[in-house]
Structure 1
Amino acid sequence: MDTAARTGTPGPDDPARARAFLTAFARRKAARTADFPGGFAALDDAHALSYGDNHLLVDGPTDPELLPGRAEELLGHLPHRAVQVIGEETGRACAEPLKRAGYTHAEVLVMVHTGPVPERAGAREVELPALRGPVTESWRHFLPGAGEEVVRTLVERRAARRRGAPDVRFLASHDEWGEVVSWGDLYLDPATGTAQIEDLVTAAPHLGRGHGGAVLDTALRLAAEAGCPTRFLTAFADDWPRHWYERRGFVAVDTVHCFERA
């Protein structure tokens, strides 16, 4: 029997660790919050067009039938509605009431790294100004119909992530001319031994050249060096990156159900 089993302490791949981190990160990052039974609204008026910065997060027992009304009450000042429900059972219970209210539904996997820690692979920490140009172009590629204000919000919201964890780093891989071509966030909480890797993106012209792997491997190594045995990320259940992560030693341990309505 391992130490975690003997003491009751969650092991590195226990979903409770990642759940606690996701909840804490959302609370700390938010400019303001509003609690309700089973969760809270995370809000940031400075980035009102961002679903990721203005949504309901359900992380405990709640009444699924009341969720559509809670969203109207707490997100009524916004042009969108977004609800995130952590956990398979609760997410499934909330799906039907939200779908009846016109929400779309997507599943995001919480994936914990269980393989060996790789060596650093050439990516390095950068400041936000270095990411502004490539991130802007990336969003224009992914959302070609989005207006300039939407793109600006999606780019500038990254600064708020510094509030989300005790140690937040932005990593990037560069091409031979020194241009940023792949990037990602690393959120560290050494006190709980938990780290999240998030928003890992490679510019389309540079896919398949090892830049994304360099950012991921560097993030994993830095997280291990910071004393974080639980290292996780999130990936859409029906998209190809999840399989790329699986090949790099990640396994799915939990699900976040994401509901949205424009």
Structure 2
Amino acid sequence: MTVLVHLGTPAAWRAALDDGALRPEGPFVHLSWPEQVHLPAQRLFPGRRDLVLLVVDPARLPGPVVEEPGVPGDPDGMRFPHLYGPLPVSAVVAVVPYRPPVTPVLPSPGDTPGRALTLSLSVRVRRAAQVLDVPGGVAVLDPRFPHSRDHNRLLLDGPVDAATVERAAVDVGLPHPVATLSGPGADDVARGLARRGWEAEELLGMTRAAAPGLPGAERAEVVDQRAVHPLWETSWRRDLAGLPDLDAVVAQLVGREQYTDRVVAVHDVAVHEEGRVVAAGQLRVDGATAAVESVMTEPAARGRGHGDAVLARCLELAAAAGCDLVVLEAFAADWPRHWYARRGFTVAGSTWEVTAPTGPPQTGGGVTQDSSR
């Protein structure tokens, strides 16, 4: 299916998520066909590589798109699609970093695996303090959080080999080499790195539709993120017991979370017992696609349906935001994938997480598990 795109800044998109729509600065919202977008990029944002492409499903727009001439200097006869009125965020099926001269991959509305992968990679790029080009993709870096592997890693969606991954990790100075592999032959590259001593784990991208009115959703509520901090801290201290500088590590893993809300709309959901948060999860809304992250329950409170309540509330929030797709990631070899499968999530695709054999334990994966890492 043909899509339209709108080129803008991450800040403008984040404001639109709060407003529910991207509003025109003049009489219309300027859209482009994918093959045209380089023209407004060169004219309005020369040299910029920190922009985003909003991938728009024309069928979800509230009104017709009018094709009109651009500006003097555009190729003869070229016409651009204009939307006279607000662009609903629910019409945006993906948000793709725009980093010319790299050709962006634009998933179609029905490309469930593509939309799931795009959200996972795009959030990390938009949130990063620094983005560097490497063979086969990019490196995202954040010196404020060197203990967070989610904020310091390679994101490789192009063709690479094991040696190239190792060199790139060293060249960019990752605090601890870790990479997401999603390009051609990712499984072969992961196996090659495993033979070199790296840990390689397959991550399943699982998806389902958002849904309102699920049983148990009323037991979970949206809370200020600070209310969840004690649960996170307890979990990380348990999982990372014995790690040198544990206090500093935990402080970083908590402190990093505020930055995700600067690029997507974050909703923290919790269940209380006796006034204390005992279960929590997070929903990240990015237009018509939402991601469930960090579902966890205090060990002493498990077996009471709290995880179901958190998940149901997240799916309800996604439906209310106009999302048609909810995604998450789960390790292929771990039990949570089966828990989510019983709740309607199906496997749409997979990536590989590879981690070098030396350095400190992994801390902070951003992967949906029973306890946050």
For this structure pair, what is the TM-score category when the shorter chain's length is used for normalisation?
0.7 to 0.9
Could you tell me whether the CA contact under 8 Å between 2:182 and 2:351 is conserved in 1? yes
What is the aligned-residue RMSD (CA, Å)? 2.0
Q: Tell me the equivalent position of 1:83.
A: 179
> 1:54-65 counterparts in 2 under 5 A?
54-65=152-163
> 1:1-262 counterparts in 2 under 5 A?
9-11=108-110, 14-76=112-174, 78=175, 80-86=176-182, 89-114=184-209, 117-119=212-214, 120-146=217-243, 147-165=246-264, 167-175=265-273, 177-190=274-287, 193-261=288-356, 262=359
- How far residue 73 of structure 1 moved from its aligned partner, in angstroms, is 0.6
Could you tell me whether the CA contact under 8 Å between 2:268 and 2:280 is conserved in 1? yes
Q: Which structure carries more relative contact order (alpha carbon 8 Å, separation 6+)?
A: 1
Could you tell me whether the CA contact under 8 Å between 2:210 and 2:315 is conserved in 1? no
Aligned residues: 248
Structure 2 spans left out of the alignment, 5+ residues: 1-56, 58-106, 360-373
CA distance in structure 2 between the aligned counterparts of 1:90 and 1:26, rounded to whole angstroms:
22
CA distance in structure 1 between the aligned counterparts of 2:144 and 2:269, rounded to whole angstroms:
24
- Residue identity opposite 1:129 in structure 2: R
Larger radius of gyration: 2
The 3 A distance-change label for structure 1 pair 197 and 182 is: same
> SS of 2:313's equivalent?
helix
- Residue identity opposite 1:16 in structure 2: G
- Residue identity opposite 2:206 in structure 1: M
> SS of 1:227's equivalent?
coil
- Residue identity opposite 2:198 in structure 1: Y
CA distance in structure 1 between the aligned counterparts of 2:319 and 2:203, rounded to whole angstroms:
24
> SS of 1:75's equivalent?
coil
- How far residue 216 of structure 1 moved from its aligned partner, in angstroms, is 0.5
Identity of aligned residues (%): 37
- Residue identity opposite 1:207 in structure 2: R
Greater shift after overlay, 106-115 or 216-225?
Answer: 106-115
CA distance in structure 2 between the aligned counterparts of 1:181 and 1:163, rounded to whole angstroms:
26
Could you tell me whether the CA contact under 8 Å between 1:68 and 1:101 is conserved in 2? no
CA distance in structure 2 between the aligned counterparts of 1:10 and 1:184, rounded to whole angstroms:
26
Q: Normalising to structure 1: TM-score of the pair?
A: 0.87
Could you tell me whether the CA contact under 8 Å between 2:211 and 2:316 is conserved in 1? no
CA distance in structure 2 between the aligned counterparts of 1:102 and 1:72, rounded to whole angstroms:
16
- How far residue 112 of structure 1 moved from its aligned partner, in angstroms, is 0.3
CA distance in structure 2 between the aligned counterparts of 1:236 and 1:245, rounded to whole angstroms:
11
Could you tell me whether the CA contact under 8 Å between 1:26 and 1:164 is conserved in 2? no
The 3 A distance-change label for structure 1 pair 221 and 116 is: closer
- How far residue 141 of structure 1 moved from its aligned partner, in angstroms, is 1.8
- Residue identity opposite 1:142 in structure 2: D
Could you tell me whether the CA contact under 8 Å between 2:283 and 2:292 is conserved in 1? yes
CA distance in structure 2 between the aligned counterparts of 1:182 and 1:212, rounded to whole angstroms:
7
- Residue identity opposite 1:222 in structure 2: L
Could you tell me whether the CA contact under 8 Å between 1:108 and 1:237 is conserved in 2? yes
Structure 1 spans left out of the alignment, 5+ residues: none
- Residue identity opposite 1:219 in structure 2: C
> SS of 2:163's equivalent?
helix
- Residue identity opposite 1:41 in structure 2: A
Q: Normalising to structure 2: TM-score of the pair?
A: 0.63
- How far residue 128 of structure 1 moved from its aligned partner, in angstroms, is 2.3
> SS of 2:218's equivalent?
coil
- How far residue 210 of structure 1 moved from its aligned partner, in angstroms, is 1.1
> SS of 2:267's equivalent?
strand
Deviations 1:73-129 (A, max 9, x none): 1135x2x11111126x53213214422443111111110015865533321111222
- How far residue 53 of structure 1 moved from its aligned partner, in angstroms, is 1.1
More helix by share: 1
- Residue identity opposite 1:188 in structure 2: V
